[in-house]
Chains A and B, each alone.
Chain A
Amino acid sequence: MTDESQAVPRPLWQRVLTQAMLVFFSAVFIMPFLWLMTSSVKTDAQIFKTPPEWLPLMPVTVDADGVQLPVYRAPNGERFAVVERDKETSQATVRSVLADGSVGAVATREFYGLEAERRFGLNWRNYPEGLRFIKFGRQLTNTLIICISSAIGCVLSCSLVSYGLARIDWRGRKWLFYAILATMMIPPQVTMVPLFVVWAKLHMVNTYWPLILPSFLAPGFFVFLLRQFFLSIPQDLTDAAKLEGCGELGIYWRIVLPLSKPALATVGLFAFLGAWNDYLGPLIYLSDERMYTLSLGIASFSSQYGSFPGMLMAVSTVMTVPIIMLFFFTQRTFIQGITLTGMKG
């Protein structure tokens, strides 16, 4: 379990077994992503197929005098371009497809027994159509407004409060810190109803204020994280500044904040992500569809138009991919943040 490989190399079978298990679990963890992304470029007809197919396939079409017609294959291998199909009589107007890809004369034949010809192809149309369907531009803007405001609010308010708790020695700071920790124990369901009532009385339901303003009031989780970090900054640094006549605000702004950039980045990132993923908050406070965030938009799309899974998978991909990219660019900040908050064990 340790880094003993330099001393005594692990037996080969152990290394092979470990690798095999890691590969297996990775495959299990990646599979849902593969399904999401491949489904997003499938036609709905294909997604509904039983048994399901992994590769995205597109119907083959042929150009018949400027019109694209779907190609069907008969059991004997003959190929037909179907012009029209009468569902009641099961007769179809077809044109035979010749070996060179051109179409022959118009004929009528039994449709039953013909099978649509498909080959590998990506149905990109799910993306533009899905995004238009949920009014993506607007919902992205709405989401970003909330995310960015929350990130700014959390970084600003939590760093101020954490400075007050970690770097200023005053009576009651311990008490306040415990009180903030205690708020984290309270299930949000307890305060959900009264807060809604207050916002309703202020006529601020259906605005972004209920989703943004709490971030400016120092959420406990981030205060906890930043306070830990601020406590680790050597006292000598700030004492020296104090001797030179620097006030608390100056020390906060010019010494503590610049030294805490990684921790502040973690707070900003987590606050942004929290707002990006939040569903319950927007669900309670936003009822006007023009105000919807992506979470709300996709959930309501899913519940109202469950029969368009291709578009649904496309918009889900669009909501997920930026977060994964963000993770790849800021991995260090992420991992540090998780371990910082998890260490208290």
Chain B
Amino acid sequence: MAAAAQVVKRARAKRSSNTLSGLLFCLPALVGLAALTVYPVAASLYYSFCNYSVLKPPMWIGTGNYERLATDELFFRSLWNTVYFAALAVPIGIVVAFLLALLLNVKVRGMTVYRTTFYVPSIVPMVASAVLWIWLFNPQSGAVNAILRHVPGVANPPGWLSDPAWAKPTIVLWSVWGVGNTVVIFLAGLQGVPKDLYEAAEVDGASAWQKVRAITVPYMSPYVLFALVMGLIGSFQFFTPAMVMTNGTGGPADSTMFYALNLFHRAFSDFKMGYACAMAWVLFVLVVLATIAVFKSSARFVYYESGEGGAA
């Protein structure tokens, strides 16, 4: 009895000394959590109910900022632009990345060279690639239209970034150029698909397309879900290329005024900090809702090896 009590006591002492060293090791994260997340999140929520220009202390105005958002045309414009961008860039990016990964997974000569070619654009500094895009897609003297003019049937190539109807698709193309990251993730996933499944399918006389549909796609679905969620979160925060390509104007005709760009201007051009915080919270809620929606619907298309459905 006494011995058992001693063991418990010692274990308890051990645990509490563990707690101390655990806390000490995690100190940077605890400070970071408090200073970079908990406080700013709380302050941001508070500011979102205030009139605040930094120079004067925040003044409580209740839901005033949110009410003004409801009638702010630019707010809805930027929201629409962002949804439009996400709806194009995320699926196209995933399809292109999947296709490239499938091609790379065929053991052909020069695979590493191709992989590098597809990956490298994704590490080009965003500012540099945004600046490059301005000139590449220059309607008169850019390379893209130079090539397009040689394509039969294209007499008048688009004005790209100078045309309100084409500006967003141009930026979508920019984002597709940077899918290399997703290609590498998909490729790693493809290499984990059990090979005997394909062999079995072949014995049964399945075509290449049937194999992709019935084996590759289900096995890859968790990776696709990951890319989908990351892509969604990323596009709601999309900022740098839009800022650089348009000199921050979000033009032409507000066609590239994305949500995060609009928010940045409200905060740091107009110094409407409270208003910007209200926008940030609307963004936050939308991102969370979109993520939940994706996870909920993912139960239908995501396959997990253990056999359970995708209850995430």
Contacts and interface: CB of A to CB of B under 8 A. Distances in A.
A interacts with B:
yes
Interface of A: 1-5, 7-8, 10, 14-15, 18-19, 21-22, 25-26, 29-33, 35-36, 39, 47-52, 54, 157, 160-161, 163-165, 168-173, 176, 179-180, 183, 185-198, 200, 214, 216-219, 223, 248, 252, 273, 276-277, 279-280, 283-284, 294-295, 298-299, 302-303, 306, 309, 312-313, 316-317, 319-320, 323-324, 327-328, 331, 334-335, 338-339, 342-345
Contacts of A284: 268
B136 A214 contact: no
Nearest to A189: B280
A1 B29 contact: no
B154 interface: no
A298 B188 contact: no
A323 B180 CA distance: 15
Interface of B: 15, 18-19, 21-33, 35-37, 39-41, 43-44, 47, 54, 100, 102-110, 114, 116-121, 123-136, 140-143, 145-146, 149, 177, 181, 184-185, 188-190, 193, 195, 198-199, 202, 208, 211-212, 216, 222-223, 225-226, 233, 236-237, 239-240, 243-244, 247-248, 260, 263-264, 267-268, 273, 276-277, 279-281, 283-284, 287-288, 291
A217 B30 CA distance: 8
Contacts, number: 305
Contact of B287 (A161, A187, A298): A187
B81 to A, nearest CB: 16
A1 B190 contact: yes
A338 to B, nearest CB: 5
B263 A189 contact: yes
B223 A345 contact: yes
A195 B25 CA distance: 25
Contacts of A4: 195, 198-199, 202
Given A187-B280, A200-B54, A164 B26 contact: yes
B121 A29 contact: yes
Given A160-B25, A327-B120, 16 more contacts: A1-B208, A1-B211, A14-B106, A15-B106, A39-B135, A157-B29, A170-B15, A186-B41, A189-B276, A191-B41, A193-B276, A279-B127, A313-B135, A323-B124, A342-B185, A343-B185
Closest 9 CB pairs of A and B: A164-B25, A217-B32, A170-B22, A342-B185, A191-B40, A194-B43, A345-B222, A194-B40, A157-B28
Contacts of B124: 320, 323-324
A170 B134 CA distance: 53
B244 to A, nearest CB: 5
Contact of B273 (A197, A334, A342): A197
B18 A168 contact: yes
A163 B29 contact: no
B155 to A, nearest CB: 13
Contacts of B132: 32, 35-36, 313, 316
Contacts of A196: 267-268
Contacts of A163: 25
Nearest to B182: A342
Contacts of A2: 105, 193, 195, 198
30 contacts: A18-B108, A19-B109, A29-B177, A35-B136, A51-B141, A51-B146, A51-B149, A54-B143, A161-B29, A168-B18, A169-B15, A173-B22, A186-B284, A187-B236, A189-B279, A189-B280, A194-B47, A196-B268, A197-B54, A217-B32, A218-B32, A273-B123, A279-B127, A279-B240, A303-B244, A327-B119, A328-B116, A338-B184, A338-B188, A345-B189
